């Protein structure tokens, strides 16, 4: 109150008028609002956010929950930083702040979120790494906390979600490789119970079946979603007596380690094995160039933020047409890594 009282005295107007002007209330004329904002800047006024939050019953903070640890993010995360940029671009319109809720890979995600919720830390939450069955969804739903998930789950509380189109990636990859003559095709999936692994493998299985082919269980490789995981996949694949002639990599970072394992064995993508993966800023430096699926992560972040705000009474009128329950498309970028064609005898 000390700062806002000083502003009011400086402008010779009431504290209530200053408060309403600073909070963007419509019952303040534009000239007064302009004077208040100019004076606030001149005097270096900064609102007491904790006091305002207490009065309004809000924090103006949105939490984005993700897991940390090198076995999750590898040598550096590029995916989420680009998504964050899009999310915060939307939140800045409403003077909301994005805070990353970093759950250690050693802690149960539901326990971590339960602790965050108990503190009343955020007005809304974005969940990532959705599991096949995800108790976090039930927790937020029971507490009536607005949330959106980046990824689908079988745990259904009617929540809005956005997910990458892993089915589309699987279908396009399998169709492309089969058209090039490949019959023995390997695929990858995450090491844990994250739902995207189930979705991706099932569509690969269905796509192969449509061509009269089966997905060999020995050709489904699990790994952590990082460079080390890709390297281990490469080593395991090379150790097979009957190697596949093609592979589809589900995660954007495992291609780096996978290429390394092949290189050590003198095996070249595009010449000795066909490889299709996901784009990452690092993947553009691979040689031969990686045939991959890419998307605008910033645009995905914008859509996530707008979808969440569309569920919140204070903001939903701004986003009557927000995207929800949508598969986010990925574009195939052709490279040289899947140039290997198999000629059937």
Q: How many Å is the maximal CA-CA distance in the chain? A: 91
Q: Which domains does the chain have, with CATH numbers?
A: 4-47 (1.10.260.40), 61-159+297-328 (3.40.50.2300), 166-295 (3.40.50.2300)
Q: Which residue has the higher pLDDT, 207 or 283?
A: 207
Placement of tokens 């031969």 in the chain: 288
Lowest-confidence range among 32-36, 97-101, 194-198, 334-338?
Answer: 32-36
**Sheet containing 220-223, strands listed edge to edge, beginning at the edge strand earlier in sequence:** 220-223, 185-190, 246-248, 274-278, 291-294, 331-333
Q: What is the DSSP string of 147-193?
A: EEEES--S--SS--EEEE-HHHHHHHHHHHHHHTT--SEEEEEESS-
- pLDDT band per the 50, 70, 90 thresholds, residue 75: very low
Query: What confidence score (pLDDT) does residue 71 get?
Result: 53
Lowest-confidence range among 44-48, 131-135, 247-251?
Answer: 44-48
Q: Which residue has the higher pLDDT, 285 or 25?
A: 285
Q: Which residue has the higher pLDDT, 50 or 254?
A: 254
Phi, psi of 2 (to 5 degrees): -60, -45
Query: Does 173 score more than 70 pLDDT?
Result: yes
- pLDDT band per the 50, 70, 90 thresholds, residue 1: very low
Query: What confidence score (pLDDT) does residue 50 get?
Result: 44
pTM above threshold 0.85: no
Lowest-confidence range among 1-15, 161-175, 251-265, 271-285?
Answer: 1-15
For the chain, state the CA radius of gyration: 25
Phi, psi of 66 (to 5 degrees): -145, 160
The pair of structure tokens assigned to 196 is 């995207």
Instruction: Could you list the beta-strand ranges (E) of the chain.
Output: 61-68, 97-104, 124-127, 147-150, 161-164, 185-190, 220-223, 246-248, 274-278, 291-294, 326-328, 331-333
């Amino acid at each position: 109150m000390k700062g806002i009282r000083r502003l009011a005295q400086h402008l010779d107007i009431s504290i209530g008028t200053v408060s309403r002007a600073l909070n963007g209330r419509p019952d303040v004329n534009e000239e007064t609002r302009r004077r208040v904002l100019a004076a606030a800047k001149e005097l270096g006024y900064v609102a007491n956010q904790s006091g305002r939050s207490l009065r309004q019953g809000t924090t103006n903070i949105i939490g984005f929950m993700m897991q940390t640890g090198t076995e999750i993010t590898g040598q550096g995360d590029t995916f989420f930083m680009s998504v964050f940029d899009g999310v915060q671009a939307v939140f800045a319109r409403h003077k909301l702040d994005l805070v990353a809720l970093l759950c250690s890979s050693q802690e149960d995600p539901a326990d971590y979120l339960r602790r965050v919720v108990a503190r009343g830390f955020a007005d809304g939450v974005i969940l990532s790494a959705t599991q096949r069955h995800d108790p976090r969804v039930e927790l937020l739903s029971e507490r009536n906390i607005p949330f959106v998930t980046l990824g689908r789950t079988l745990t259904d509380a009617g929540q809005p979600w956005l997910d990458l189109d892993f089915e589309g990636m699987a279908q396009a990859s399998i169709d492309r490789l089969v058209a090039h003559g490949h019959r023995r095709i390997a695929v990858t999936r995450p090491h844990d119970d994250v739902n995207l692994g189930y979705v991706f493998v099932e569509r690969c299985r269905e796509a192969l079946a449509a061509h009269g082919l089966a997905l060999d269980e020995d050709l489904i490789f699990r790994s952590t979603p990082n460079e080390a995981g890709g390297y281990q996949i490469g080593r395991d694949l090379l150790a097979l007596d009957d190697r596949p002639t093609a592979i589809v990599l589900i995660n954007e970072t495992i291609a780096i380690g996978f290429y390394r394992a092949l290189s050590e064995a003198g095996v070249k993508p595009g010449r000795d094995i066909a490889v299709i993966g996901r784009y990452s800023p690092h993947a553009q430096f691979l040689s031969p160039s990686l045939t991959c699926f890419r998307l605008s992560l910033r645009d995905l972040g914008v859509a996530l933020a707008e979808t969440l705000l569309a569920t919140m009474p204070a903001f939903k009128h701004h986003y009557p047409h927000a995207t929800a329950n949508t598969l986010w498309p990925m574009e195939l970028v052709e490279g040289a890594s899947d140039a290997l064609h198999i000629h059937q005898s």
